Amino acid sequence: MKTLLKIFAVAAAFGITPAAYAQAAPTPAAAAPAAQAAQQPVQKGAPPTDAISARSQANPAQPQEISDPRLAETGGEEPTDAQVAQSTVASRTAPVVGIGQPDGRMGIQDQVNPVGVYAAWFHNDILMPLITIICIIVLALLLYVVVRYRRSANPIPSRTSHNTVIEVVWTVVPVLILVAIAVPSIDLLAEQYSPPKADITVKAVGNQWYWTYQYPDHGDFEIVSNGLSDADAKARGEPRQLAVDERMVVPAGATVKVIVTANDVIHAWGIPAFWVKIDAVPGRLNETWFKVDRPGLYYGQCYELCGARHGYMPIAVEVLPPAQFAAWVASKGGTMPGGAQAKSGDESGTLTPPKPDLVPTAGGSATATSPEPTNIMDATSRPPVSTQGATNSRRGESQ
């Protein structure tokens, strides 16, 4: 028996496996089509406007296609800053180097949201100077004590156990430091969690491993956002592992309320340039907001470990001028608030009020001057169901 175990150990060391195991193990090439077929999304609304998005929606990129430039046939080369800055895709906003994406520099990304601008000021002008001053003072005191009170220079140590001035200083100074930090901190929290009235609502739903965005104020249409492969990202001149086939699109200058949830496990939705990050929890609706005046393209990622492909859940938010946003909504089959065609009335779109003698009266039967109301519902009938709080995605529905 020991001899047999030794034979198997030697065989394993040289990569030799029994034939039965080799036949039973599925090959990656055979498993890939099944996995891709299971992820093929069907989008409700208009189809993607370009070939790259259409191909990605029909066949989302697999992790090896995103992370390995050789498999993506990019030649191992990432797009240069010039390619990223000069890239143009029909009807799409091109990314700008250093705005809305990491560019290798230290510090916080340039903020375009008012809350982010305030937070960056708090970090750069309050926290960093305080931390620097405290570290320098503490280091100087340590060095002074090491040199001044070393054994050779101070053979007889002091037996002082109390000093009123020192005790007052090391009590009052930390309190003042905490107050200096607490005042802007509380103000920042109030700005983040007391949002103004929203102009537009977008519902972001996390899935393994893609995002869906619903627009309840614009016809309740939905888009499915998958990460692009390296080849497709390079073709668009976008940074790898951040580009998506369908972006979340919002109008410039509008207060955007984002309702965030998830269908399976905990995800996190965030855009560093907006100073926004919030968990997407199944069965719970979390809320955040932002307001961006500068049109452009801004990237983020899922910020909560959500499984094997956590690193392949990019987020892209495209901010457009209001007129272009309205055109984008129309291209997706949605409608602008108040832009629906009136069902009745004159050509100006105003509704014609009912005549006084035809207004129904409650509690009476139909008469010549009081017809039976047409909007009476049975008390046992089921009321209309709103999808505002739903957490399930429409991905997979037929059009």
Cβ atoms of residues 300 and 116 within 8 Å: no
pLDDT (average), residues 356-385: 47
Residue predicted with more confidence, 295 or 389: 295
pLDDT (average), residues 311-337: 90
Residues in the chain: 399
Cβ atoms of residues 232 and 55 within 8 Å: yes
Query: What are 146-155's pLDDT values in tens digits?
Result: 998 888 888 8
Residue 40: per-residue pLDDT: 42
Residue 97: per-residue pLDDT: 73
Residue 355: pLDDT band (50, 70, 90) is: very low
Residue 234: per-residue pLDDT: 86
Checking if the pLDDT of 93 tops 80, the result is no
Residue 359: per-residue pLDDT: 40
Outline where DSSP puts E strands in the chain: 200-207, 210-215, 221-225, 248-251, 255-262, 267-271, 276-280, 286-291, 296-301, 314-320
Q: Say whether the peptide bond before residue 289 is cis (omega within 30 degrees of 0).
A: no
Mean confidence (pLDDT) of the chain: 73
pTM: 0.62
Residue 339: per-residue pLDDT: 64
Residue 96: per-residue pLDDT: 72
Q: Is residue 29 within a helix (H) or strand (E), and if so which, with residue range?
A: helix 28-39
Residue 162: per-residue pLDDT: 84
Cβ atoms of residues 252 and 292 within 8 Å: yes
Tokens 């109008």 found at: 251
What are the residue ranges spanned by the domains of the chain? 56-108+197-336, 114-152+166-193
Query: What are 3-49's pLDDT values in tens digits?
Result: 655 665 555 545 444 433 333 334 444 444 444 444 444 445 555 55
Look up residue 304 and give its two tokens.
């909560």
Outline where DSSP puts E strands in 216-364: 221-225, 248-251, 255-262, 267-271, 276-280, 286-291, 296-301, 314-320
CATH architecture of 56-108+197-336: Sandwich (2.60)
pLDDT (average), residues 315-334: 91
